Each structure stands twice: as structure tokens, then as C-alpha cells.
Structure 1
Amino acid sequence: MKWLGPLLVSILAACTTLTPEQELHLKTIAATPVVCSKGDDCEMKWGRAIAWISRNSQWKIQTQTDNIIQTYTPIGASAASGFLVNKVPLGDGRYEIMMTSGCANFIGCIPDATTLRARFNEFVLGPEALPSVSASPASK
């Protein structure tokens, strides 16, 4: 019976659909690279990345350095995602902050990886950089 809860949540989540415009908006934000410049810009965005993971992960942070944030790996049949964030050097004092997510549920993660990446990018880049994703009723 432990599988019944995640199964019901997955079924209910599948009932929520996005309009084509909302889906395009979500995918655009998820695909927007999070780039920063060495110094204050990267420190601010890396701090936002740590804050977002801390607030949005059911799993505790296992590793946190100046270049990586990693949560514990999801267990059981959990639909809650674990996260890995890397700060990758691009050259010329610029870095890209890249987030990946995954869960232990064979049916899928809730929310899905695209939605999580869009919300992460939106938060790390700041409210003025992109239109809001999390305020959209269909994305909750």
C-alpha cells in the first residue's frame, strides 16, 4: 500500500495540463542558461542556487562546495526529486550554473524536471530576468 500514495499523486498530476503557450513558456525558461561573471554576480547567483535547493528539496544537501551542490539520492518509490548543481567554467571569468534533477519513482517525478529547471532558473536569475513561471496556476 506504500505505492498507492505516489501512484495517486502521479495520476492527479497527469490531469493538470498546460496550454501550448504555457508549455512553450516553461520550456523557454528551462532552456535559458544561467550564466554569471566571476565575483559578486556569481556569488549572488550561487547563493540563490543554494537557497533554492535548500527550500525545494525534500532531500538534505549532501555536498556543498564553491562548484557543486548535491542532495542525497532519492530512495524508495519517491516522486520527490534529488538535485545536482554544477558551476561550470566557460572561460573569460564566466560560469554556467547547471541544475539536474531526478527521483526514484518509475512513473515520474513531481514536479517534472522541466518545471523544476524553469523554477530554478527563474529564481537564480532573479525576478527581473524572466517572466514568472511559478505564479502560473497551471504550473502548480
Structure 2
Amino acid sequence: MKRILPILLCATAVACSTGGQVNPDVMQAATAPLTCQDKTQCALWWQRAEDWVRNHSKYEVQTVTDTLIQTSGPGGGKRLLAYEITKAVNSDGTATIGFAAHCDSSLGCKPDPWTAGAAFKQFVRTGVDAPVAGADEATVPASGAEPSAPH
């Protein structure tokens, strides 16, 4: 009897941990670098970044500068995503746009940050707000689920 409880707990943990797996195609799209090549392209992409955040965030856009787009939130255990978009100018004249999204729920985020990141990058590159290929409706746990490294 003493052995059964730890085995059941381990089995439950494994079962729960696989429910939030991210589709590899979505992860690849979400982590692909987002680097504009010149001032004209960077200005266009930065405007698209702001447009995407304004159209997809349930939180109010709090800050918009030449290097930061940030929403309020998250808060109160909500599953909604808060966004922080950054732009870093590189020494060669290009700029890298970074994407971070997170929620405040132990139940996971809706939409999941990986799918949001992939959709964001697709829109910034193309101007087309379309579903990301390979995206599913899985909810990714809030902890460790945020694609926040500069891309």
C-alpha cells in the first residue's frame, strides 16, 4: 500500500505533463528570429507588431515607444496573455524584435504563448493575420511556457 501512492502520484504527474506539449511546428515558428533588415522594413514591422498586440490583447496597451510595446496585466489568476514586445537595434543596422507573453494562472494560458508567438511573428513578417499551421488548442502551463528570449 505504501508503494502504490507514490506510483500513482508519478503516473498522474506524467499524464498531466504531456497534456501541454507544444506542436514542434508552432514552437519552431515561435522561436524563429524576427530580424528586420533596414529602417523602412523595421518601421513597417514595428507598426505591425503594435497593431497585432492591440488587436489580440485582452489587456490595455500600456506602453508604446520605439523599443517597447507592453500591455498591462497579467493579474488576478487570469489565463489571458499579457504581452511585451521589444526592439533591439543591431550593430549592422538590422533590428531584432522580441516577443514575450505570459499569464497569471496555474491552469495555463489561453491562447498558449507559443501559438500567440508564432501568430505574432507570422503577422509581423507578412501582414496576414491567419492561423498558424500546426497550431492546436492545447493549453500550455503558465510556468516555463513563455517564449521570451529575443527573437
| TM-score (normalised: structure 2) | 0.70
Identity %: 28
Tell me the amino acid that sits aligned with residue 123 of structure 1: F
- After superposition, give the CA deviation of every residue in 1:71-95 in whole Å (9 maximum; x if it has no partner): 0021212100000000012211111
Q: Which runs of 5+ in 2 are unaligned?
A: 1-15, 138-151
How has the CA–CA distance of structure 1 residues 66 and 76 changed in structure 2, closer, same or farther, with 3 Å as cutoff?
Answer: same
- Secondary structure of the equivalent of 2:95? strand
Contact 2:115 2:135 in 1 (8 A): no
CA contact (8 A) 1:26 1:133 kept: no
Larger mean CA deviation between 50-59 and 72-81 belongs to 72-81
Output one character per residue of 1:34-73: Cα deviation in whole Å (capped at 9) or x when no partner. Answer: 1012311001100100000000000011110011000002
Letter in 1 for 2:52: W
Distance of 1:137 and 1:118 partners within structure 2: 10
Give the structure 2 partner of residue 73 of structure 1.
73
Q: Residues of 2 paired with 1:39 and 1:138: CA distance?
A: 32
CA gap 1:136/1:35 in 2 versus in 1, 3 angstroms: closer
Partner of 2:110: 110
Q: TM-score, normalised by structure 1?
A: 0.75
SS at match of 1:97: strand
Instruction: Measure, in 2, the Cα distance between the counterparts of 1:38 and 1:47.
Output: 14
The residue number in structure 2 matching 1:63 is: 63
- 4+ residue runs over 3 A deviation: 135-138
Give the structure with higher Rg (CA): 2
Structure 1 unmatched runs, 5+: 1-13
Secondary structure in structure 1 of the residue aligned to 2:90: strand
Assess if the C-alpha contact under 8 Å between 2:26 and 2:133 holds in 1. no
| Whole-angstrom CA distance in 1 between matches of 2:85 and 2:127 | 20
Give deviations 1:4-58, integer Å, cap 9, x for gaps: xxxxxxxxxx9xx89x9x9221111111111012311001100100000000000
Structure in which a larger fraction of residues adopt helix: 1
Q: What's the secondary structure of 2:23's corresponding residue?
A: helix
The number of residue pairs the alignment matches comes to 120
Equivalents in 2 of 1:81, 1:28: separation in Å?
Answer: 20
